[in-house]
Structure 1
Amino acid sequence: MKHLIACVLVLWIGACKHKKLPILGEPEIVTKMVDGKKTEVTEYPRIPDYSFINQKNQTFTQKQMEGKIYVADFFFTACPTICPVMKSNMLTVVERYKDNPKVGILSHTIDPEHDTPAVLKKYADDLGLKGDMWQFVTGDREKIYDIGQKHYMVSAMADPNEPGGFIHSGAFVLVDKDRYARGIYDGTSKESTAKLIEDMGVLLEESNTEE
């Protein structure tokens, strides 16, 4: 009996070590030349190139996230509803991974007219943030909405009927170093944020294995 339990534990630990997160989005079958032959391969959507302005009034692009896994979300500084809870939960992510240079956080404002770099800088300062791990970005409204809805698969738009004049999901989106979305979590939930933190560890292990 003891031998059986030991075997089960070994198998369970082995399975945990090899856990793999799914790639999100609708896959597409494309034809490519592989070793001189036409071959059908499955391709998943990736987060496209982007260019925004961060809280330091500097251009921030996908190049700053090269080699990193990161968590993306959408918010606005005057949000009267879910944003404060989301930011409180994101701070637990910061606390867990603040010393890991392979982790980033990218928060997009959906109210770029109000949320200038200076406003975002004060917002970041009020959260007590240090360093460059957590980036807050603004930019062209339509480009922000487009990347949110089409690529991060979240709600991000103006809506005069919503509190604060905008609608957005409370989602945290986990993105791998190759810019594939690998998980979506409820940023208003401590339990879901804890699952995000756990899955980030899985993704980091995956990245280390590939290097």
Structure 2
Amino acid sequence: MSKKANYSYVGVGFIILVFGIIFVPKIIDRLKHNNTVENDRLNIKTEEERATKSDLAYLEINGSPKKVPEFNFVNQDGDTISNQDYLGKVYVVEFFFTTCPTICPRMNRNLVEIQNEFTQFDNFGVASFTITPEIDTPEVLKAYALKYGITNPNWHLMTGEEDKIYELANVGFNIYVGKDDSVEAGFEHSGNFALIDKEGYIRSRKDDFGNPKIFYSGIISEAEKVDDEGMKEEISMLKEDIAKLLKE
């Protein structure tokens, strides 16, 4: 190999060395700076999200927050409604039936009162599932909605296959419903409401021991304050917590 060729290789090597000394640290610094900026942006976003989160707890199952299970039923207008239709909305869940002679009328009068409290919010709703779907057709549910003054377009009274509704109640929400010939009307069910956030998670405030309440009693009205057995109403509590979730 000629001396000239050796000089050429030496020259190229020298240029590469100079480039590395001058520019590589700048490139690394820029990459680090960009990563820092991006990390800062992510941190700011996370802090903003934390700032808008309320103090309401998540119901956790095996360490994971519980989401509303998938459902797909027909409402009072004959439209098919699923859990996806409620995403982005804060809503209350109940199980009822239109011929219920005991707690259902009280529950739905309380829900109408809540409905009227949040008329200015188009992202608030109610999901009412009938436990007597063979009786509660869309037409029957429509008449029931008119009777009780249900006007919120996000309040869907839903009917469908009985076994799926019962599974949704007892397994999906842990809100008891069942058939019992020994009670009036032949059915019994919980008078509790579940509160769902915009992302589809079950939320509630905590009790005196720091545990999620999970449900809100829907039977006693805010005006009554307490029932004959001394149980306090929780409608005012539910209103407060709906307002918190709407701000998230």
Is the Cα contact below 8 Å between 1:68 and 1:103 reproduced in 2?
yes
Runs of 5+ consecutive residues of structure 2 not aligned to the other structure: 1-51, 205-214, 222-232
The question of 1:23 aligning with 2:58 is answered yes
* Equivalence for 1:201: 243
* Equivalence for 1:134: 155
Opposite residue 140 of structure 2, the aligned amino acid is: V
Is the Cα contact below 8 Å between 2:95 and 2:130 reproduced in 1?
yes
Distance, in Å, in 1 between the alignment partners of 2:199 and 2:141 is 27
Is the Cα contact below 8 Å between 1:76 and 1:111 reproduced in 2?
yes
Deviations 1:140-188 (A, max 9, x none): 1111111111121211122222211111100111011121111310001
Q: Secondary structure at the match of 2:235?
A: helix
Query: What is the Cα deviation at residue 18 of structure 1?
Result: 6.9
* Equivalence for 2:189: 168
Q: How much is the aligned-residue C-alpha RMSD, in angstroms? A: 1.5
Opposite residue 149 of structure 2, the aligned amino acid is: G
Is the Cα contact below 8 Å between 2:115 and 2:152 reproduced in 1?
no
Q: Secondary structure at the match of 2:58?
A: coil
Aligned residues: 176
* Equivalence for 1:118: 139
Query: What is the Cα deviation at residue 53 of structure 1?
Result: 0.5
- Choose from 222, 228, 234 the match for 1:192: 234
Is the Cα contact below 8 Å between 2:112 and 2:149 reproduced in 1?
no
| Structure (1 or 2) with the greater strand fraction | 1
Percent of residue pairs bearing the same amino acid type? 37
Opposite residue 123 of structure 1, the aligned amino acid is: Y
Query: What is the Cα deviation at residue 134 of structure 1?
Result: 1.4
* Equivalence for 2:113: 92
TM-score (norm 2): 0.68
Is the Cα contact below 8 Å between 1:69 and 1:102 reproduced in 2?
yes
Runs of 5+ consecutive residues of structure 1 not aligned to the other structure: 1-16, 29-41, 207-211
Opposite residue 186 of structure 1, the aligned amino acid is: S
Query: What is the Cα deviation at residue 45 of structure 1?
Result: 2.2
Distance, in Å, in 1 between the alignment partners of 2:119 and 2:180 is 35
Opposite residue 55 of structure 2, the aligned amino acid is: K
TM-score (norm 1): 0.79
Give every structure 1 segment of 4 or more consecutive aligned residues whose post-TM-superposition deviation is greater than 6 Å: none
Q: Secondary structure at the match of 1:157?
A: strand
Deviations 1:96-154 (A, max 9, x none): 11221111101100000100110000000111222413110000111111111112121
| Structure (1 or 2) with the greater helix fraction | 2
Distance, in Å, in 2 between the alignment partners of 1:18 and 1:195 is 18
Is the Cα contact below 8 Å between 1:49 and 1:62 reproduced in 2?
yes
1:35-114 aligned at under 5 Å gives the runs: 42-114=63-135
Rg larger in structure: 2
